[in-house]
Amino acid sequence: MPAVMDSAVDTFPVGHSVSKYVDRVLTIDKENSQHKIAFKLLCSNNSAAGVIGRGGSVIHALENETGACISFCPPVHGSKDRVAIIFSFEKRDPVYPSAQIAVVRVFEKSMEVALECGLISGLHKGTIVTAKILVTSHQLRCLIDEKGQVCTDIGSTSGVKIKLSPRDLLQDLVAENEEVIQIVGEYFNVKVALFQVTGKLRGNFFPSFVSEGVAYEQYPDSSMPESSHDEVQLNLD
């Protein structure tokens, strides 16, 4: 328990409910604590090289801009894609959600590189692009609606299509407990949807506090290397 709990026990007022007092202390601690927010994205190998930059210059600039940590997993032989890992330590309700913003910035940069390499025709209205986010099976639950579809609310408001992508196409990059979320639409709309989807996922990184019984439910960390960031994966079509 946090240090504040020790002082709370010493100064607990007689005649009040112990359970309610403990609830309040734990709630304060939960609101002030920081958690590792991690996302995985898939980028094409060509785009990954451009996002990293010579000597890591581009990726370091993105880290300085967003305040998040960004890295790429080593290339996988035979795969055209590469995993980008993005993370930061944040409170439940931050003024500036570093990891989410970094996800969008990495996606933007990867699209710019794809344009330079001739992988896409442009970033203007009407150009269709694809982003792919890698999530654990547990995280996927918060994205599925009552009809079993993925983020239909975000898809309808942002004008994109969001669905599960076949795992067998990326089996060398996807762990056994992971699923691939695909966001397809116009460039600007995909950026908006990407931020909103990661916003939904963000809640999975925080404990759920139950007042009755004073219980915590800690969601498991998304499977990612200890050395790097929160994870999200993007794929550029």
The average confidence (pLDDT) of the chain is 75
- pLDDT (tens digit per residue) in 17-39: 444 444 444 344 455 678 888 99
Segment 158-166 mean pLDDT: 88
Identify whether 226 is part of a domain. Answer: no
**Same domain? 120 vs 27:** no
**Same domain? 23 vs 57:** no
pLDDT at 232 > cutoff 70: no
What distances in angstroms separate CA 82 from CA 42, 85, 118, 207, 226, one per listed residue? 6, 10, 18, 30, 18
**Same domain? 201 vs 104:** yes
Task: Please give the pLDDT value at position 7.
Answer: 40
- pLDDT (tens digit per residue) in 189-229: 999 999 999 988 887 777 654 333 333 333 333 333 333 33
Task: Please give the pLDDT value at position 108.
Answer: 96
Count, residues in the chain = 237
**Same domain? 115 vs 26:** no
Segment 12-18 mean pLDDT: 42
**Percentage of residues of the chain with pLDDT beyond 70:** 70
**Same domain? 108 vs 190:** yes
- Specify the CATH number for the domain of residue 47: 3.30.310.210
Task: Please give the pLDDT value at position 18.
Answer: 44
CA angle 6, 8, 11 (to 5 degrees): 115
What distances in angstroms separate CA 112 from CA 15, 36, 75, 124, 202, one per listed residue? 64, 28, 20, 12, 26
Report residue 167's pLDDT band, with 50, 70 and 90 as the boundaries: low
Can you tell me the distance from the alpha carbon of 102 to that of 99, in angstroms, rounded to the nearest whole number? 5
Two structure tokens written together for 40: 């995985």
Task: Please give the pLDDT value at position 169.
Answer: 61
Two structure tokens written together for 1: 């328990």
Identify whether 236 is part of a domain. Answer: no
Residue 58 or 152, more confident: 58
Domain count, the chain: 2
**Same domain? 138 vs 193:** yes
**Same domain? 21 vs 80:** no
Can you tell me the distance from the alpha carbon of 220 to that of 172, in angstroms, rounded to the nearest whole number? 23
Task: Please give the pLDDT value at position 171.
Answer: 62
Task: Please give the pLDDT value at position 64.
Answer: 95
**Same domain? 154 vs 41:** yes
**Same domain? 87 vs 26:** no
- State the residue range of the domain holding 21: 1-32
Identify whether 172 is part of a domain. Answer: yes
**Same domain? 147 vs 88:** yes
Q: Which of 7-16, 79-88, 134-143, 220-229 has the lowest mean pLDDT?
A: 220-229
pLDDT at 105 > cutoff 90: yes
The SS3 call for residue 8 is helix
Segment 106-119 mean pLDDT: 93
